[in-house]
């Protein structure tokens, strides 16, 4: 798959396949699809990425991607400003927003501590989090990071940083996922779900 | 998944998910990946598609994608100019080139006849093919279209158009694919592979 008849095509395929999870064959399929579209459509397609990259702002409060200085969640007067949910990136915000169960604010770390990938605490938006915590407005912080080794490391680091303030620190409950069969649950999850068992009626809370 | 905090992000996700096989979640993942790259990299990424779309040429002989007026296959003096392989698009050219078993020229139709998709003979590069066939240089034409209803329709249409000329018309052999188990082969393929059986030693030709 390396004898492209055109260097323009080759460059486009190389760029497309630089995206994570897109191989050369898929990239070629996508690029050929673009070739069949109108030039103005392709121009809009391309422009959307350069515009996003060049004009994007980050919310000065929660570090989320935003069009203005303060994102639409932080500027929403109806949300509980005493409750902050700490997440890794914007995809987690969208996932939690979709549940419609959370009405506080977010704080986007921009990653998790991962020495293997060379990501330390200084690479994350932790200073901004401390600033928010020290303002006195925040009463509770919910740790909503991935249930992985790196997530737990970050949780522990943040717990130590935040424990200086009079703030309740909670974390997402761990347990058997809705729809999971017990026989296939791993022993750590199942063990924790027994230790942290909840009252039966709580599972039917709206 | 529709409460994006930024319209720039939303536009980029919409554009990315306009590609075939890319859903909204994958698009968001890819766009967030682009956001983490350097602006110059994103500019190069975007530019490669607009340049391809605006500057691409099609080979005047075989209708393949090319940088010059004549593609590098058609201008290759070492290739057999009396043999033309008819394919649907450039991906088929790359697939056949990878086999290193074909040393003739190609003719790219740009699609196959598909009334369901509104693609008729006039939408394909058939006139150019007839022009090549009538030049007298071509001795054999190999039909290498998909083994589908549409492919067979196109084969038959081309066969009638080309039978006016003193040209041998052949088609790719159909049969059990290398690595396939007989028990899983469909009856039409298996039936044809019995009717069109080849000499044992031919399967080991280099």
**pLDDT score, position A84:** 93
Between A128 and B184, residue with greater pLDDT: A128
Distance from CA of A139 to the nearest CA of B (A): 25
pLDDT at res. A52: 92
Mean pLDDT of the A190-203 span? 78
Alpha-carbon distance B82 to B137, whole Å?
6
> Closest chain A residue to B73 measured between Cα atoms?
A5
- Which residues of B fall within a CB distance of 8 Å from A65? 5-6, 9, 35
The reported pLDDT for the residue numbered B204 is 64
Domains of chain B: 7-55 (1.10.8.420), 79-172 (3.40.1360.10)
Digit-coded pLDDT (tens) for B150-183: 998 999 999 999 988 889 999 888 888 878 888 8
| Helix/strand/coil for A30 | helix
Which residue from B47, B57, B91 is facing A46, i.e. has the nearest CB? B47
Asked if A139 contacts A168 with a C-beta cutoff of 8 angstroms, the reply is yes
Distance from CA of A184 to the nearest CA of B (A): 26
Q: How far is CA B147 from CA A69, A108, B97, B143, B182, in A?
A: 57, 51, 19, 11, 19
pLDDT band at A14 (very low <50, low <70, confident <90, very high): very high
Residues in A closer than 8 angstroms to B51, CB to CB, are 8, 11-12
Give the C-alpha distances (Å, rounded to integers) separating A121 from A171, A189, B38: 19, 27, 21
pLDDT at A2: 58
What would the pLDDT profile of B81-101 be if each residue is shown by its tens digit?
A: 999 999 998 889 988 988 888
Is B5 in contact with A46 (Cβ distance < 8 A)?
no
Among B11, B48, B64, beta carbon nearest to A11: B48
ipTM computed for the complex: 0.80
Q: Are B87 and B96 in contact (CB under 8 A)?
A: yes
Whether residues B5 and A33 touch (CB distance < 8 A) is answered with no
- Letter string b/e over residues A40-67, b meaning 16 or more CB atoms within 10 A of that residue's CB: eebbbbbebbbbbbeeeebbebbbbbbb
In the predicted structure, residue B66 carries a pLDDT above the cut 70: yes
Closest residue in chain A to residue B76, using alpha carbons only: A5
Q: What is the pLDDT confidence band of residue A1, given thresholds at 50, 70 and 90?
A: very low
What mean pLDDT do residues A45-57 have?
A: 93
What was the pLDDT predicted at B172? 86
The alpha-carbon gap from B54 to the nearest alpha carbon of chain A, in Å, equals 7
Mean pLDDT to the nearest integer, B176-204: 79
Span between the terminal Cα atoms of chain A, in Å: 54
Which of A1, A5, A79 to substitute to test the interface with B, most B CBs within 10 Å? Answer: A5
**B201 pLDDT higher than 60:** yes
Contacts of A44 in chain B (CB under 8 A): 15
Render pLDDT for A111-125 as a digit per residue (tens, 0 to 9): 899 988 899 999 999
Q: Is the pLDDT of residue B77 over 60?
A: yes
H/E element, B13: helix B7-16
Test mutation, A8, A17, A26, A64, chain B, max B CBs within 10 A: A8
Q: Is the pLDDT of residue B193 over 90?
A: no
| pLDDT value at residue A203 | 64
Q: pLDDT per residue over A23-35, tens digit each?
A: 999 999 999 999 9
pLDDT of B1: 44
**B9, two tokens:** 């992000």
Terminal-residue alpha carbon distance, chain B: 54
| A5·B93 Cβ contact <8 A | yes
- Chain A residue closest in CA terms to B71: A5
- Residue, of B11 and B67, whose pLDDT is higher: B11
Name the E strands within chain B.
57-58, 65-66, 80-87, 104-108, 140-143, 168-171
Q: A156-160, A191-195, B143-147: lowest mean pLDDT where?
A: A191-195
Mean pLDDT of chain A: 88
What pLDDT is recorded for position B205? 57
Which whole number is the average pLDDT over B119-130?
92
The span from the CA of B150 to the CA of A54, in Å, is 45
Average pLDDT over chain B, rounded to an integer: 88
Q: What is the mean pLDDT of residues B51-55?
A: 92
What's the confidence (pLDDT) of residue A50? 94
pTM for the predicted model, two decimal places? 0.78
Residue A39 has pLDDT above 60, yes or no: yes
Tell me the percentage of chain A whose pLDDT exceeds 70: 97
């Amino acid at each position: 798959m390396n004898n492209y008849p055109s260097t323009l095509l080759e460059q486009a395929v190389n760029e497309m396949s630089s995206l994570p999870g897109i191989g050369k064959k898929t990239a070629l399929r996508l690029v050929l699809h673009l070739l069949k579209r109108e030039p103005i459509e392709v121009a809009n397609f391309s422009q959307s990425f350069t515009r996003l990259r060049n004009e994007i702002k980050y919310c000065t409060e929660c570090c989320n991607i935003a069009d203005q200085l303060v994102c639409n969640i932080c500027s929403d007067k109806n949300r509980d400003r005493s409750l902050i949910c700490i997440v890794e990136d914007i995809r987690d915000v969208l996932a939690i927003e979709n549940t419609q169960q959370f009405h506080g604010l977010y704080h986007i770390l921009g990653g998790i501590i991962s020495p293997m990938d060379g990501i330390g605490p200084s690479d994350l938006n932790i200073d901004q989090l401390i600033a928010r915590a020290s303002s006195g407005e925040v009463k509770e912080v919910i740790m909503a990071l991935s249930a992985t080794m790196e997530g737990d490391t970050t949780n522990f680091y943040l717990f130590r940083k935040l424990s200086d303030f009079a703030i309740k620190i909670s974390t997402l409950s761990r347990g058997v996922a809705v729809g999971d069969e017990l026989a296939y649950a791993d022993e750590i999850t199942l063990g924790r779900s027994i230790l942290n068992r909840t009252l039966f009626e709580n599972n039917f809370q709206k």
